[in-house]
């Protein structure tokens, strides 16, 4: 007897659950395990499971069963219908509907893309670039600890009567120009020649990625064409809210135009400040000047000292802050859970359960917060298990890991810069999306949503890291216990918003580069560097530095190929939700209940536009050429970009 359509979809979700738990555990292990042997095994496991996944994705029996289920009107729920539809699309994205010859080529291209993507990332870590600076006095004390002391011998005359030659040992520093060091150098170093050398070096390595990126673009383009799309961007965006690259481009160009006057104005302000500081000998503002002068302008305008700010954010207290959020918004609490032997991958890892007084455990969260050698460099949320309904009475609880890289180790004195607090809250937003998810199928659990919706909850939770009503509940001085002064938070907000248009313009430029490189390829008979240079001149107030290839270190081109615009979608959606739902009382249970029941618990099981409208009513999405774009009003108001322009027009 044939299984029913509902049983087929259930079985497919179980297969997917089993495979995903291996893929996801291997991913986490690969990025966090301190033992090389485990990392190697995880690498092998991820290669093997990818091959197996590939075998499943090209299995015609499974495909036929899913197609039949999708057409069956007896599927009882909207979610199971959506699951059948999505599973079919996933099969077709793997090329199952193609002739065997084309399918072989697609398989080969997918393997190539996987390898090229990995290579791109490896090249970045192998070759971060470096610059040697002499004498050491050109480097300020604040960043000595980030750099490597070096020496060279210089010949000079000693004071002897015969002018005898001697070798002098001169001290200098080697700057490894990986992104975090580079930002510190650009922020602190007064010597513009040093900043220039570091900027150019950091933005022109690893050279090997010029070729890797070209090959990646070509492979993705060929893949899209075999699948019947005009470009890789079209292939990616089709399933998203935007639904076509044209919709994305019109959104980005509209935003670019709205912020241009304010961004130009900010550019002038920075240039005038530089001229005041160094007199007429500096005519122009260079890209390596931005971080240095804006940092100086922010701290003098708002009298801010980052170490004073950090003294109110001991990591211990920030974790308390996350607990305050779940307690106030969702009535839930975190509890430490002992781990089974071999469950943890490092002594500093904690396991917490999120518990609700009526509903019991909602899910599990691992915290791995401190930096160590060989660990994933940034902050990220790793899904380990998706939630799913097993039976009428049984639910598989979601499991996630929140991985960060805060300096220091498990001691009580780790303090965060405020941008790190913001990042922690951002990643916690992703974690909550997973932990509060109550979908029937793990296929839709938590963050398993369309790409241009995925970053919205995390962006919304960043607002909580800036709101004084939230900060005063946990931000306390590490030695006196004094609550962070409201005046200090006001200054932090002022500094944050000082160059908001410049920062936003940069994000729009990144998204335009991503769309263009993976867009239709007649434009791409030229090399990627000249395309990037043209876009920078056209869409930003800043000039392009000849000989730099910023794109070869932009790993989002690999992870988010043709999807980087999603961050800007998320920021617009989050701004509207904050304004209409959260701002009045960000910590109220009713705010949390709306967030949970209308948005977070549905993961990807409902249409995103339906959830957004349900959450805040009209005025969050706009319909444009059969696609959906966010309403920008809330976001632009918040950055005070719109009224400024109206004033200019008047």
Is 427 one of the catalytic residues?
Answer: yes
> Catalytic: which of 427, 455, 462, 638?
427
Given a contact cutoff of 8 angstroms between Cβ atoms, the answer to whether 212 and 120 are in contact is: yes
Residues 6+ apart with CB under 8 A from 198: 131, 175, 177, 182, 185, 186, 189, 288
**Virtual torsion, Cα 500, 504, 505, 508, nearest 10 deg:** 180
Nearest-angstrom CA–CA distance, 357 and 642: 45
The DSSP bridge partners found for residue 370 are 406
φ, ψ of residue 350 to 5 degrees: the values are: -110, 150
Contact by Cβ (8 Å): 267, 174: no
By three-state DSSP, how is residue 155 classified? strand
Q: Return the H-helix or E-strand segment holding 172.
A: strand 165-176
Of 609, 605, 602, whose CA–CA distance to 78 is shortest? Answer: 605
Show the beta-strand stretches assigned E in 284-426: 333-336, 350-356, 360-370, 380-385, 388-389, 395-396, 399-406
The candidate with the shortest Cα–Cα distance to 13, out of 74, 72, 65, is 65
CA trace torsion 44, 46, 51, 57 (10° rounding): 170
Helices (H), 160-244: 179-188, 192-202, 208-226, 232-237
309 vs 39, 356, 486, CA distance in Å?
A: 37, 34, 12
Distance, in Å, from the CA atom of 635 to the CA atom of 258, rounded to the nearest integer, reads 12
Would you call 95 helix, strand, or coil by DSSP?
Answer: coil
User: Which residue's entry shows tokens 């719109």?
Assistant: 642
Q: Which of 292, 205, 325, 286 is nearest to 591 (CA)?
A: 325
Which pair of structure tokens corresponds to residue 317?
A: 């207290």
With b for 16 or more beta-carbon neighbours within 10 A and e for fewer, the 312-338 pattern comes to: bbbbebbbebbeebbbbbbebebeebe
Give catalytic residue positions: 427
């Amino acid at each position: 007897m044939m299984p029913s359509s509902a049983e087929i979809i259930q079985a497919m979700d179980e297969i997917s659950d089993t495979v995903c738990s291996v893929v996801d555990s291997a991913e986490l292990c690969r990025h966090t395990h301190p033992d090389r042997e485990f990392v190697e095994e995880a690498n092998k496991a991820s290669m093997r499971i990818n091959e197996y996944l590939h075998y499943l994705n090209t299995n015609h029996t499974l495909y036929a069963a899913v197609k039949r289920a999708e057409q069956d009107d007896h599927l009882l729920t909207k979610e199971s219908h959506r699951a059948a539809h999505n599973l079919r699309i996933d099969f077709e994205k793997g090329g199952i509907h193609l002739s065997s010859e084309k399918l072989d080529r697609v398989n080969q291209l997918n393997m190539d893309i996987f390898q090229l993507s990995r290579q791109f990332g490896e090249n970045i870590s192998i070759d971060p670039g470096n610059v040697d600076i002499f004498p050491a006095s050109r480097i300020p004390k604040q960043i000595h600890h980030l750099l490597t002391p070096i020496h060279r011998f210089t010949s000079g005359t000693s004071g002897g009567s015969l002018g005898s030659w001697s070798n002098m040992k001169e001290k200098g520093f080697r700057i490894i120009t990986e992104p975090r060091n580079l930002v510190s150098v650009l922020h602190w170093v007064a010597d513009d020649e040093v900043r220039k050398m570091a900027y150019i070096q950091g933005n022109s390595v690893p050279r090997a990625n010029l070729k890797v990126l070209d090959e990646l673009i070509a492979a993705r383009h060929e893949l899209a064409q075999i699948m019947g799309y005009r470009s890789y961007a079209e292939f990616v965006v089709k399933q998203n809210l935007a639904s076509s690259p044209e919709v994305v481009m019109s959104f980005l160009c509209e935003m670019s135009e709205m912020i241009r006057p304010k961004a130009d104005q900010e550019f002038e302000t920075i240039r005038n400040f530089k001229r005041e500081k160094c007199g007429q000998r500096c005519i122009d503002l260079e890209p390596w000047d931005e971080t240095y002068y804006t940092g100086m302008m922010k701290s003098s305008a708002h009298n801010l000292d980052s170490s004073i700010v950090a003294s109110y954010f001991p990591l211990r207290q920030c974790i308390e802050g996350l607990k305050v959020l779940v307690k106030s918004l969702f009535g839930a609490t975190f509890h430490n859970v002992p781990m089974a032997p071999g469950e943890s991958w490092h002594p500093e890892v904690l396991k917490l359960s999120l518990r609700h007084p009526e509903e019991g455990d909602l899910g599990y969260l691992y915290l791995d917060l401190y930096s160590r050698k060989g660990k994933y460099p940034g902050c990220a949320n790793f899904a380990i298990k998706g939630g799913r309904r097993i039976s009428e009475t049984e639910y598989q609880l979601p499991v996630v890991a929140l991985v960060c890289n805060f300096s220091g180790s498990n001691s009580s004195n780790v303090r965060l810069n405020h941008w790190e607090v913001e990042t922690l809250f951002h990643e916690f937003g992703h974690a909550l999306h997973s932990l509060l998810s109550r979908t029937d199928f793990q296929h839709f659990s938590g963050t398993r949503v369309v790409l241009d919706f995925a970053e919205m909850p995390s962006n919304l939770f960043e607002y909580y890291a800036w709101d004084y009503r939230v900060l005063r509940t946990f931000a306390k001085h590490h030695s006196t216990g004094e609550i962070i002064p409201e005046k200090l938070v006001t200054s932090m907000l002022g500094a944050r918003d000082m160059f908001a248009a410049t920062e936003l313009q940069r994000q729009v430029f990144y998204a335009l580069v991503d769309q263009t490189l993976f867009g239709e390829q007649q434009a791409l008979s030229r090399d990627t560097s000249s395309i990037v240079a043209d876009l920078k001149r056209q869409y930003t107030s800043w000039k392009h530095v000849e000989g730099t290839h910023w794109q070869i270190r932009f790993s989002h081109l690999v992870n988010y190929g043709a999807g980087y615009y999603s961050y800007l979608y998320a920021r617009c959606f989050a701004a509207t939700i904050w304004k209409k739902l959260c701002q009045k009382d960000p910590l109220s249970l009713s705010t949390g209940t709306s967030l949970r029941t209308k948005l977070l618990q549905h993961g990807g099981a409902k249409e995103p536009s339906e959830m957004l409208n349900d959450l805040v009513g009209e005025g969050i999405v706009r319909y444009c050429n059969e696609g959906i774009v966010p309403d920008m009003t809330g976001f632009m108001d918040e950055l005070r970009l719109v009224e400024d322009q109206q004033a200019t027009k008047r």
